[in-house]
Amino acid sequence: MTYDSLMIHSCYIGTETTSTNEFGESKPSSWSYATTAEDCRFMPITLRERSEIGGQYQNITYRVFFKSGSSVILGDRIKRGTTEYLIRERYYDSSGHHITCLVEEL
């Protein structure tokens, strides 16, 4: 079994586009999603994990894994089907093989 074979889901990554108002201040304007889906794996947060991260991330619902070459960054959104998730945490595994994200359902 290869690591790629574990990527059984697909999702679209959304990035926020910003604009400026008449005073030159940045303001969020909209979200744009990639046109091609990325392979990933959604895994629910266990009760034990929820109790360990509860004080830091209260509404985390899933741990999502991506290949290390993914363009996903902290603050992006992920769309899977009709459900959107906000990336609250992002980190590499110890060998740099994959990216793990903690996400909150919106």
Residue range 59-85, pLDDT digits in tens: 888 999 998 888 899 999 999 999 999
Query: Which one-letter DSSP state was computed for residue 71?
Result: -
Q: What are the respective helix, strand and coil percentages of the chain, to the nearest 5? A: 10, 55, 35
How many structural domains does the chain have? Answer: 1
Burial of 35 from C-beta contacts in 10 A (0-12 / 13-18 / 19+):
exposed
Mean pLDDT of 28-46: 87
89: domain CATH number is 2.40.10.270
Q: Which domain holds residue 99?
A: 4-105
Query: According to the model, what pLDDT value does residue 54 have?
Result: 64
- For the cut 80, the answer to whether the pLDDT of residue 42 exceeds it is yes
Higher pLDDT, 84 or 30: 84
Q: CA gyration radius for the chain?
A: 15
Residue range 3-19, pLDDT digits in tens: 777 788 889 999 888 88
